[in-house]
Structure 1
Amino acid sequence: MAKSIRARATLKGDTVTVKSLITHVMETGLRKDEKTGDKIPAHYIQEVTCEHNGKEVVLAQWGPAVSKNPYLSYEFTGGKSGDDVSISWVDNKGEKDSLTVQVK
């Protein structure tokens, strides 16, 4: 079970709509700690991969300009109810998470 990803996939006609929310700090590396004045190290998602039944449908390469707790929504055709949709991410520190949901 993914700790940082919430998602749902819904079918309407022949189009699957996936909506997901990823909990992540998304630090740019440019902000300073208010108490110490030291820079807060960069910590952001670099790559998000979305698959439908094991086939890649979206590959997003992100950087430090993406906001904290990013929301990702996308659509694709060719899915049906009960199909698996997977979302996974990897950040610049090597941390990662993934989640698989079924199309409803």
Structure 2
Amino acid sequence: MTEPVRIRATVSEGVTQVRLMASHPMENGRRRLPDGSLVAAHHITDLAVLHNARVVLQARFGPSVSRDPYLVFSFAGGVPGETVSVSWRDNRGAQRSDSVTIR
């Protein structure tokens, strides 16, 4: 099982700022071990952020994204007490969804 996505969502003057970090190795499939063998590719491919079932961010990642991706973005709307949820899927079929209450 993967670690939870760390999410913080705060609202100020009608704009919600979201900060999130998805714990993931994000291996690109080109790194070699000391014995010369390749580490298999393992990276997030799709990520979506929803605010009350409305998509506010949708991303497609590839192997060039760094380990434990950290994103910061804002969207119009949001009220303290509402929910922001994040879900992702990786190239091996693993997926995770987490949510947080807006502060």
| Interval of TM-score (by shorter of Structure 1 and Structure 2) | over 0.9
Any unmatched runs of 5+ in structure 2? none
Q: Deviations over 1:48-90 (max 9, x none)?
A: 1000001111100000000001101111011111110000110
Give the CA RMSD over aligned residues. Answer: 1.0
What TM-score do you get using the length of structure 2 for normalisation? 0.95
Residue identity matched to 2:29: G
Rounded Cα–Cα distance in structure 1 between residues aligned with 2:36 and 2:96: 31
Rounded Cα–Cα distance in structure 2 between residues aligned with 1:48 and 1:73: 13
Any unmatched runs of 5+ in structure 1? none
Runs of 4+ residues over 2 Å off in structure 1 = none
Task: Tell me the CA shift for residue 3 of structure 1.
Answer: 2.3
Residue identity matched to 1:95: A
Match of 1:29 in 2: 29
Match of 1:7 in 2: 7
Rounded Cα–Cα distance in structure 2 between residues aligned with 1:38 and 1:78: 49
Q: What fraction of aligned residue pairs are identical, expressed as a percent?
A: 37
